[in-house]
Amino acid sequence: MRDTSQAPDPVLDHPAAAALWRPSVVAAWSLVFTPAFGSWLLMHNWRVLGQPQAAGRARLWLGASLAMLALQLLAGAINRRLNGDSPLMAWLALAWLLLWLLGAAWPQWIAVRRRYGRRYARRGWNGALGLAVVLGGACWAGAFLLTALLLAFT
């Protein structure tokens, strides 16, 4: 019986088949690390796919996601200072996540599926997830510092 496990794969070995982060997994990790993380990965995927306009839209999603994250951090610090517990920001964050999933992640998932199907070279996650953990820790530390400053000086 012939071993076909080492046979060259025309899809994966094709020069145009650059490695991508899998869009569905990007969306799943964005549930943990926010749409800002996912937007950054989608932006890089669009660049690899040779679609600079889509990469520009992903950059806009990244900027808007960072603004939403900053708003959430500020609102959390203010809520803490006022001894409030308003669920408004939680609902806005959920709405933003759903909007991002439909407006940013879904189009790339469809584009990659149409272009490559289920078979394409995939990028590893170690570097991206490591960066997400470090930046998430920095964001948490910034929120803690902002809350402490608001409590101390107001």
| pLDDT per position as a tens digit, 111-149 | 999 999 988 899 999 888 898 899 888 878 887 887 788
Percent of the chain scoring above 70 in pLDDT: 89
DSSP state of 105: I
Q: Is residue 140 part of a domain?
A: yes
**What 3-state DSSP class applies to 20?**
strand
Query: How many angstroms from the chain centroid is the CA of residue 100?
Result: 9
Q: Is residue 32 part of a domain?
A: yes
Our count of domains for the chain comes to 1
Section 91-106 average pLDDT: 94
DSSP state of 117: T
pLDDT digits (tens, 9 = 90+) for 30-65: 999 999 999 999 999 999 999 999 999 999 999 999
Q: Is residue 9 part of a domain?
A: no
Q: Is residue 12 part of a domain?
A: no
Within 8 A by CB and 6+ apart from 95, the residues are: none
Token pair belonging to 3:
């071993």
Inter-residue contact 29 to 135 (CB < 8 Å): no
pLDDT value, residue 144: 83
Q: What is the mean pLDDT of the chain?
A: 85
Instruction: Give residue 103's domain range.
Output: 23-153
CB-hemisphere CA count at 13 Å for 48?
23
Q: Is residue 116 part of a domain?
A: yes
CA distance 106 to 99: 10
Q: Is residue 101 part of a domain?
A: yes
Q: Is residue 1 part of a domain?
A: no
Q: Is residue 106 part of a domain?
A: yes
Token pair belonging to 148:
């402490």
Q: Phi first, then psi: what are they for 28, rounded to 5°?
A: -65, -45
Token pair belonging to 27:
């969306």
Helix (H) or strand (E) holding 68: helix 52-81
